[in-house]
Amino acid sequence: MLIDNILYLNMKIATYNVNGVNGRLPVLLRWLEETAPDIVCLQELKAPQEKFPVESLQAAGYNAIWHGQKSWNGVAILAHNTEIKETKRGLPGDPDDEQSRYIEAFVNGIVIGCLYLPNGNPAPGPKLEYKLRWFERLQAHATTLLKYGMPVVLAGDYNVMPTELDVYKPERWIDDALFRPEVRQAFKTLVEQGWTDAIRKIYPNETIYTFWDYFRNAYGRDAGLRIDHFLLSPDLDSRLLAAGVNRDVRGWEKSSDHAPVWIELADL
DNA sequence: ATGTCGGCGCAACGCCGA
């Protein structure tokens, strides 16, 4: 990024489940303005392809690619004054899957996979089965990405709390599709391919939440969950400088139930 | 079990998904 003739080489990448990109547009634009991420992964657009607010984002300096869907799901990748080369639209492994949950691009020399993993509730049931199948497809595609040997960031709403440290009251979530043993195991199997959970690496023992339910004043009570994650390929692990959650955004008027999460990577 | 959101639809509030 070039500002006042000074070259800044570090890169800030963020992920944000906006829960309706048009309903949250003022919040999204304010957050972009205040935190100036270089690359952004968005989930839960809840907008059809033609209703994505591309003009507003361009006016804020962001190029965008997106995969919309009426009412639900939807993912996008934004890049500040930078070219985005789309490499995938839809997660491989099931041509009949019509839900818009994965988009991937080459940006600034990094492969950015933006994902919105299925919620899976009510569980057990077909929605949990779909979630577990989707996880298997993600594991398969993640293996392929590692084989390329390129720097890769898999960012998004995984709808999984990986450990008890990631839930305000673990005992209440045992049967929930976001915390069931088989779902946590699926996340663990994925990470053990060789990925780095960036937030957990920077904060090994701390309670870090990225989501607070709208119900029962969850944000006020800090009854949160950590479900939005960054997985880094092995060569990016040593470039991880910092990471965090923009918690205050969750407290803004008309906020999403998720907060934006970010990482900063050093240039090579 | 409950709670609160955004988006949807024979257009107003009940439903779905989260």
In a domain, A4, yes or no: no
Question: Is the distance between the Cβ of A85 and the closest atom of strand B smaller than 7 Å?
Answer: no
- Using the structure, give the distance in angstroms from the CA atom of A157 to the C1' atom of B13, rounded to a whole number: 31
In a domain, A3, yes or no: no
CATH number at residue A195: 3.60.10.10
Q: Total structural domains in chain A?
A: 1
Q: Which of A228, A120, A230, A213 is nearest to A169 (CA)?
A: A213
In a domain, A6, yes or no: no
Neighbours of A33 (CB within 10 A): 10
Question: Is the distance between the Cβ of A99 and the closest atom of strand B smaller than 7 Å?
Answer: no
Quickly list H helices, A52-191: 54-59, 126-148, 181-191
The whole-angstrom distance between residue A189's C-alpha and the CA centroid of its chain comes to: 18
In a domain, A97, yes or no: yes
- Using the structure, give the distance in angstroms from the CA atom of A265 to the C1' atom of B14, rounded to a whole number: 47
Q: Are A218 and A180 in contact (CB under 8 A)?
A: no
In a domain, A2, yes or no: no
Side-chain half-sphere CA neighbours of A56 within 13 A: 14
In a domain, A1, yes or no: no
- Binding site membership of A: which residues? 17, 44, 157, 159, 257-258
Contacts 24+ apart (CB under 8 A), A119-123: A119/A159, A119/A177, A119/A178, A120/A159, A120/A177, A120/A178, A120/A180, A120/A183, A121/A176, A121/A177, A121/A178, A122/A177, A123/A175, A123/A176, A123/A177, A123/A180
Which uninterrupted H or E stretch holds A40?
Answer: strand A39-43
- Using the structure, give the distance in angstroms from the CA atom of A257 to the C1' atom of B18, rounded to a whole number: 10
Q: Which of residues 149-208 of A touch strand B (CB under 7 A)?
A: none
Q: Are A28 and A252 in contact (CB under 8 A)?
A: no
- Nearest nucleotide to the CA of A120, by C1', is B18
pLDDT (tens place) for every residue of chain A, 268 residues total: 666 666 667 999 999 999 999 999 999 999 999 999 999 999 999 999 999 999 999 999 999 999 999 999 999 999 999 999 999 999 999 999 999 999 999 999 999 999 999 999 999 999 999 999 999 999 999 999 999 999 999 999 999 999 999 999 999 999 999 999 999 999 999 999 999 999 999 999 999 999 999 999 999 999 999 999 999 999 999 999 999 999 999 999 999 999 999 999 998 7
3-class SS of residue A218: helix
Question: What's the predicted TM-score (pTM) here?
Answer: 0.96
Determine the residue type at A248: D
Q: Which of residues 209-248 of A touch strand B (CB under 7 A)?
A: 214-216
- Using the structure, give the distance in angstroms from the CA atom of A212 to the C1' atom of B3, rounded to a whole number: 13
The whole domain housing A182 covers: 11-265
In a domain, A93, yes or no: yes
Which value, in Å, is the radius of gyration of the alpha carbons in chain A? 17
In a domain, A45, yes or no: yes
Measured from Cα to the C1' atom, the residue closest to B18 is A119
